[in-house]
Amino acid sequence: MNKLPFSALQRHESLQKIQDTSFDLVVIGGGITGAGIALDAATRGMKVALIEKQDFASGTSSKSTKLIHGGLRYLKQLEIKLVRETGTERAIIHTLAPHLVLPEKMLLPLVEGGSYGKLATSFGLRVYDVLASVKGKDRRKMLSKKNTLLKEPLLKEEGLLGSGYYAEYRTDDARLTIENLKTAANHGAVCLNYLSARDFIYEDGQVIGLRCADQISQESVNIQSKFVISAAGPWVDQLRKINQSLQGKHLFHSKGVHIVVPHEALPVQQSVYFDVPDGRMIFAIPRQRVTYIGTTDTEYKGDLNRVFPSLEDVAYLLQAVNFMFPSIHLKLSDVESSWAGLRPLIHEEGKSPSEMSRKDEVFEAENGLISIAGGKLTGYRKMAERVVDLVAKKYKEKYKQNFGKTRTDRVILSGGTFIHYQEVLDYTKALAQKLKPYQLADYAQYLVNNYGKQTETILQKLEQYPEKNFLNLSKAELWFTINYEMTHSLLDFYERRTGRLYFYMPSIRASLDEIIAEFQQYFNWDEDTIAVEKNQLLQTIQDLAEFKSEKELV
């Protein structure tokens, strides 16, 4: 087989390369922040490595609300710069991956005593459009009560004043992260999952590399690099502590939970961003066969590696939905999946989690470690630009070499070679026609949204199977994600490569035994490995669908 820079089957070669190369920059953390940095630096011509202690996007970057949004509530907090930057970024990221960053209309019901008044919303959404250069028919509309109920008949009528109707984008955070990493690898970055940074290597008091542990072979791996950036999200302070540079500002971990119900249990016609009785606001977002609802925002002090939705979190979200959509009567038993993530916020004394800024922050240690935390999924490209500018400046001062400016606003992400969004729609339609004879037309949208034009490679693999059915399509996907996306485990596949753990939960059991048999062939899994893998997946399914109280989770 040809050399594939992102193949799980070529891990040995990648491990060798990461130890044999003297890098310009090593990035710790394979979430969206690290992925954006790796891509920015690699496309400027730096020799880059990125390591992730678990799977790519397994931290916060698979647990967000999955919106590429300007953050209307930040306008309310008068964070104009943040709104302008994230607002502009939405359109840029959409052009880089139009199959993955999809236009999504949002309905904001205005209610008596709610967070947003009619005039302020009309003005605010207009400013929001201007800041984000939203044009033409995508500009916000203000709807009367009657028209609001026509758009969304399930809304509570009592106290409803009307609504704002405006443009946002929806994505899959884990896939956006992985496509950034794959694109970085195509530009020469060496990226590895399951490689954990344990300590730093110093020379004359300056960081010159990392001591890592391979989580698969348990071997030690040393990496040499001129610069090291920690983009470890909620774990940033742990690494600053190891680096003995944890002083001044520090992180505050805020937990956010989402629940997933079948679309027929909450059949909203478009995304709704609505008030809840405690003064917060949450989203209900339809996504093919499901609707997901979130989020909570509460201080978290538990184990950073084991974050689960509690019974109380789920009850809060159910209550919020039942308050705004009174005919719905959602119950605990309607919840088929969920996820919980940690916002790595910068601590601000005296503020509640919801009030704390979502701005990013760079910490520079005297020994050279650069850490970046905070921020948003939406702002990842600008965060990367800022911190790589900093490295480029230091590089020039020390080594007299110039790497120039960012060019990631023009670097199309893998799978995203569509001229415009209409081409995505046409491509999806044509694919549905192609898959129709095999009763697979329903998967066309899923395939295009997940893989974009890379769907062709999956379909070529499917051609090799005499029968073209759901099981063989799943096997072709698995083959693709192992060879091109570094899938190593059942959870990598079902959670972060395909999103089935969240959005297609019932389909998992239908393919599980066959998928395990495939894994066994690719990686020579023995019976013990199979048992561990299967148990881990089934335990996760249970943790995401059967909830324990806060007390039991401690």
Q: What are phi and psi of 307, to 5 degrees?
A: -115, 120
Q: Rule CB under 6 A: say whether 343 interacts with ligand FAD.
A: yes
- Exactly one of 18, 27, 28, 444 binds ligand FAD (CB under 6 A); that residue is 28
C-alpha to C-alpha distance for 312 and 316, rounded to whole angstroms: 6
Which amino acid is residue 238, in one-letter code? Q
Q: Rule CB under 6 A: say whether 377 interacts with ligand FAD.
A: yes
- Exactly one of 234, 286, 368, 416 binds ligand FAD (CB under 6 A); that residue is 234
- Exactly one of 98, 109, 164, 341 binds ligand FAD (CB under 6 A); that residue is 341
Q: Rule CB under 6 A: say whether 376 interacts with ligand FAD.
A: yes
Determine the size of the site formed for ligand FAD (CB under 6 A).
39
Of the candidate spans 28-36, 397-405, 439-447, 511-519, the one that interacts with ligand FAD by CB under 6 A turns out to be 28-36
- Exactly one of 11, 23, 39, 59 binds ligand FAD (CB under 6 A); that residue is 59
Q: Rule CB under 6 A: say whether 51 interacts with ligand FAD.
A: yes
Is the link from the previous residue into 171 a cis peptide, with omega within 30 of 0?
no
Q: What's the closest the beta carbon of residue 326 comes to ligand FAD, in angstroms?
A: 26
Q: Rule CB under 6 A: say whether 231 interacts with ligand FAD.
A: yes
Q: Which is nearer to ligand FAD, 273 or 480 (CB)?
A: 273
Q: Give the footprint of ligand FAD on residues 254-273 (CB under 6 A).
A: 256
- Exactly one of 7, 65, 225, 310 binds ligand FAD (CB under 6 A); that residue is 65
Whole-Å CA distances, 66 to 176, 325, 377, 449: 10, 22, 8, 13
Give the three-class secondary structure for 252.
Answer: strand
C-alpha to C-alpha distance for 173 and 194, rounded to whole angstroms: 19
Q: Which is nearer to ligand FAD, 148 or 298 (CB)?
A: 298
Q: Rule CB under 6 A: say whether 192 interacts with ligand FAD.
A: no
C-alpha to C-alpha distance for 75 and 82, rounded to whole angstroms: 8
- Exactly one of 18, 24, 31, 478 binds ligand FAD (CB under 6 A); that residue is 31
Q: What is the DSSP-derived secondary structure letter of residue 495?
A: I
Give the three-class secondary structure for 31.
Answer: coil
DSSP lists the bridge partners of residue 346 as 251
Q: Rule CB under 6 A: say whether 508 interacts with ligand FAD.
A: no
Render the burial of 357-385: b for 16+ CB within 10 Å, e for the rest: bbbbbebebebbbbbbbbbbbbbbbbbbb
Q: Rule CB under 6 A: say whether 60 interacts with ligand FAD.
A: yes
x/- mask, ligand FAD, residues 80-99, rule CB under 6 A, reads --------------------
Q: What's the closest the beta carbon of residue 362 comes to ligand FAD, in angstroms?
A: 12
Return the closest-CA partner of residue 35 out of 495, 485, 488, 494. Answer: 485
C-alpha to C-alpha distance for 219 and 458, rounded to whole angstroms: 33
C-alpha to C-alpha distance for 32 and 177, rounded to whole angstroms: 5
Summarize as ranges the residues that interact with ligand FAD (CB under 6 A): 28-34, 51-54, 58-61, 63-67, 69, 196-197, 231-235, 239, 256, 295, 341-344, 375-378
